[in-house]
Amino acid sequence: MPVTQPSEQRTASGECRQCRTFCDRMVEPRGCLELRCRYLYSYFDPLSGARYMGCMRKVFRAEIDVSHFEAAERSGGYGGIKMTGDPLPQCQYRVEPAYEGGGPQHECVNPGFFDADSAFDLRDAIA
Ligand code: SF4
């Protein structure tokens, strides 16, 4: 029976490490709001006085401080948050490469990682 670290299980759908480019899927919380996704929740934490939002399906596991999110959106955009679970068809995300490089060590051997209607490869935008 293969032994897997819990952190590997959590991030399996959100990252690919099969070549040296190291790609991550980043969910766009702005898309969750724009879609009014039924799995997006928010709550007010009386201890901290902050409001947080998150995904009930744990497509992204982290909870986002709404005031920080809104401030970031006003100044250029919050951006993405690392995907930790399998995306649903409505989830908007992009793939970000961590390391650019040439040669066979950076050639994609897992093109299916980019396959999704809502995904785009950041390398397309900067090429
Ligand atoms: S299911 Fe997808 S779109 Fe809905 S809240 Fe989660 S990440 Fe956002």
| pLDDT given at position 127 | 39
Question: What confidence tier does 116 reach under pLDDT thresholds 50, 70, 90?
Answer: low
In angstroms, what is the span from residue 32 Cα to ligand 1's centroid? 5
| pLDDT given at position 19 | 93
Q: Coil, strand, or helix at residue 62?
A: coil
Contact predicate 11/84, CB 8 Å? yes
In angstroms, what is the span from residue 102 Cα to ligand 1's centroid? 34
In angstroms, what is the span from residue 101 Cα to ligand 1's centroid? 32
| pLDDT given at position 72 | 96
Q: Is 39 in the pocket of ligand 1 (CB under 6 A)?
A: yes
Distance of CA 26 to CAs 7, 53, 83, Å? Answer: 17, 16, 5
Query: How is 73-117 classified by DSSP, letter by letter?
Result: HHTT----EE--SPPPTT--EEEEES----SGGGS-S-GGGG-ST
- For the CA of 40, the closest atom of ligand 1 is 5
In angstroms, what is the span from residue 92 Cα to ligand 1's centroid? 8
Q: What is the pLDDT of residues 71-100, one digit of tens each?
A: 999 999 999 999 999 999 999 999 999 998
- For the CA of 59, the closest atom of ligand 1 is 7
Nearest Cα residue to 105 out of 12, 17, 11, 25: 17
- For the CA of 56, the closest atom of ligand 1 is 6
| pLDDT given at position 4 | 47
| pLDDT given at position 68 | 96
